[in-house]
Amino acid sequence: MAIYEGLDLGSTTGKVVLIDETKKILGWSIVPSIGGPDKVAQAAKEEAYRNAGLSLDTEPDYLIATGYGRNSYQKKNEEISEISCHALGAFSAHPATRTIVDIGGQDCKVISLNGRGRVMDFQMNDRCSAGTGRFFEVIAKVLGITLDDLSKYALQSTNPCTISKQCSVFAESEVITLVNDNVPLPDICAGVTDSIARRIRGMIFKVGLEEDLVLTGGCARNKALATALENLMNVKLAPLPINPQIMGALGAAMFAAEHAQKA
């Protein structure tokens, strides 16, 4: 049996997806990005191989790395950008996908793809934490709640407040002011979520919305954000059949299978 490995070394987590020659997923993993690319890659690999029921000393037939740390990882056959890997990964999981919103720890991407899972256009915000997982973490810390609580409270709101600042630093100060003004917590959480959704909507309009629209990355688990996006875009997000956080690694594994078979 051939084994193809996709490794996504992101800013906050490392992911591995293993597939065979039929492109069936054998196992996958998500681990924290702690200790540098080599340690993260090894930890992700070991967990994925255990989940697949494979020996830990098994070596893949072909490995493609993607994500922020891909340049630093030496034990790879190739590296491919996370834009291309997220596109092919989401397409492989849900072939009707034509627009992807991927919200990672340090960036946000909107990707338009064709009927073969290849990138047509994209927008990327990687210079400001507003609109990223990091921004949600900062606001949750300010409010003294968890990320899950932030989403739950936002869904309870009947009167979301307005967060006017686009800069994450100023938005944080704005949230502190709202707390001191005794604005209800659900309304603050909903206001923060809506501000992120509006920012993402602007990015979607720049590439053009074509359905199906899917949400990937760690923030895809935020039900309040998904609901806010659906309301703003007047479209239903298409559900993915597997964890939306592993789309980059899945795409890398799919590319690994393609490139190995051509080699």
The structural domains of the chain, with segments of one domain joined by +, span 1-94+242-263, 95-239
Same fold, 1-94+242-263 and 95-239: yes
Backbone dihedral angles phi then psi of residue 155, each to the nearest 5 degrees = -70, -15
Query: pLDDT at position 134, please?
Result: 85
Q: How far is CA 114 from CA 92, 117, 120, 239, 253, in A?
A: 12, 5, 6, 19, 19
Confidence bin at 135 (pLDDT 50/70/90)? confident
In one-letter notation, the amino acid at residue 254 is: M
pLDDT confidence band for 170 (50 / 70 / 90): confident
Whether domain 1-94+242-263 has CATH 1.10.260.40: no
The predicted structure's pLDDT at residue 133: 82
Predicted confidence at residue 132, as pLDDT, reads 77
Q: Where are the alpha helices (DSSP H) in the chain?
A: 37-52, 82-93, 133-143, 147-156, 168-180, 185-207, 223-233, 247-262
Determine the CATH number of domain 95-239: 3.30.420.40
What does the pLDDT look like over 71-84, one tens digit per residue?
999 999 999 999 99
Q: What whole-number distance in Å separates Cα of residue 19 and Cα of residue 253?
A: 7
| Helix/strand/coil for 164 | coil
Within 8 A by CB and 6+ apart from 82, the residues are 8, 10, 66, 67, 68, 109, 248
What is the structure's pLDDT at 190?
Answer: 97
